[in-house]
Amino acid sequence: MPIPLLDLKRQYTAIQAEAEAAVCSILASGAYIMGANVKAFEEEFAAYCGVKHAISVGNGTDGLVISLKALNIGPGDEVITTPFTFFATAESISSVGARPVFVDVRPDTYNLDENLIEAAITENTRAIMPVHIFGQPAEMAKINEIAKKYGLAVIEDACQAVGARYRGERVGGLGDIGVFSFFPTKNLGGAGDGGMITTNDDRLAAICRALRVHGSGEGGRLAYNLLYATDEEELEEAAGDSTVYDPRKYYNYLIGHNSRLDEVQAAILRIKLRQLDRYNQARQTIAAFYNRQLAETTYVTPTPPENTESVYHLYVLQAENRAQVVRHLADKGIATGIYYPVPLHRQKAYRYLNYQTGDLPVAEYLCQRTFAIPCFPELTPAEQAYIVAALKEAI
């Protein structure tokens, strides 16, 4: 039985009529970027995450870069993060000219090991960037406590975890700033790229809003004044009432980005956001089934600590003989994915940081053993049973 790791077509079929009506009405409206749907999606997403501000951006990577810039992190600064994540986490730190400092992960949650963070703090450390990997929230209370003690910012990379809960609260508002990705394969995925920054901090929100649109216009002026603690008189020509030509748009205050969300993405994401709890619950039910069925085997299954709720963006397990298991599943038509084959500190791109094999042993160990099996909301009970049977056969 052929079973893909993720089947986006099944999800689309269920929302097709609604999505096509929304997209056609956007096409007819002539308003394509950062219009009514984007504004509504930002409000709905902020309410969903329980945060004050949600600022949409072009993708999760931009969201991380913009967040770091809003915190004024740049050359000479260090940011502590995990080596067991998608490359964009550390890449964003490097993109602003700062240095990623990798700290090993916990063997149970695969998240940043909170007990190893303090030893990695130097006089250049400015922030901690935990990742809620595979949808599992990181140990935020301890991370926030350390950040407070040393005066550091906390940036949640929540790109894989929309809706995950830590001590009852949704991720995204647990640190100073949170970042999400709506890449199509994510648990809240669009029909293209998209991302969101979340924060309860008015100042950070204003700066992020300006940075996503070239630091220009009224938002850029506000951000400039906030960043440089000035309250400059507005010298520019006041905006007219023309909806087509806004002269303020061509006054730039910060070096920013073009990182806007478009209306089509926002409309589709609004539809899916309304279904997200149902999608996440379906993932949790499938994960619970796998956990039960594999409990007596030699596979190591996910173990969310008490008081956390994973949304299983991916269901990742460990096998001693991963290559053999993956091959057996492939023979049975079952797709798998290896997340992640190389820890970030051993990536070629980070050779200049001079990490060696053995420096971060848990992440290195996991990279040899972990793999993901299908765990998407529309996976049928028959498919789930077939996957479990194949996994048992493989060992």
Q: What are the residues binding ligand PLP (CB under 6 A)?
A: 59-61, 85-86, 88-89, 131, 157, 159-160, 181, 183, 193, 195
Taking the complex as a whole, the smallest distance from the CB of residue 113 to ligand PLP amounts, in Å, to 17
Q: What is the separation of C-alpha 31 from the centre of its chain, rounded to a whole number of angstroms? A: 28
Nearer to ligand PLP, 152 or 159 (CB): 159
Taking the complex as a whole, the smallest distance from the CB of residue 194 to ligand PLP amounts, in Å, to 7
Taking the complex as a whole, the smallest distance from the CB of residue 120 to ligand PLP amounts, in Å, to 19
Q: What is the distance between the alpha carbons of residues 256 and 236, in angstroms, rounded to a whole number? A: 19
| Residues β-bridged to residue 153 | 127
Taking the complex as a whole, the smallest distance from the CB of residue 158 to ligand PLP amounts, in Å, to 8
Nearer to ligand PLP, 89 or 200 (CB): 89
Q: What is the distance between the alpha carbons of residues 226 and 259, in angstroms, rounded to a whole number? A: 21
DSSP labels for 364-391?
HHHHHHEEEE---TT--HHHHHHHHHHH
Q: What is the distance between the alpha carbons of residues 283 and 310, in angstroms, rounded to a whole number? A: 9
Nearer to ligand PLP, 197 or 223 (CB): 197
Could you tell me where the DSSP H helices lie in the chain?
8-29, 36-49, 60-70, 88-95, 140-150, 202-211, 217-227, 263-294, 322-331, 361-369, 381-394
Taking the complex as a whole, the smallest distance from the CB of residue 160 to ligand PLP amounts, in Å, to 5
Going by their DSSP bridges, the two strands 308-309 and 195-199 should be labelled as unpaired
Q: Which residues of 360-378 are buried (b: 16+ CB within 10 A; e: fewer)?
A: bebbbebbebbbbbbbbbb
Residue nearest to ligand PLP (CB): 60
Nearer to ligand PLP, 88 or 391 (CB): 88
Nearer to ligand PLP, 95 or 297 (CB): 95
Nearer to ligand PLP, 62 or 263 (CB): 62
Nearer to ligand PLP, 100 or 220 (CB): 100
Taking the complex as a whole, the smallest distance from the CB of residue 378 to ligand PLP amounts, in Å, to 21
| Residues β-bridged to residue 258 | 213
Taking the complex as a whole, the smallest distance from the CB of residue 129 to ligand PLP amounts, in Å, to 9
Going by their DSSP bridges, the two strands 125-129 and 78-81 should be labelled as parallel
* Residue showing tokens 């006089």: 123
* Residue showing tokens 């709506």: 182
**What's the N-to-C CA distance of the chain in angstroms?**
19
Taking the complex as a whole, the smallest distance from the CB of residue 180 to ligand PLP amounts, in Å, to 8
Nearer to ligand PLP, 227 or 264 (CB): 264
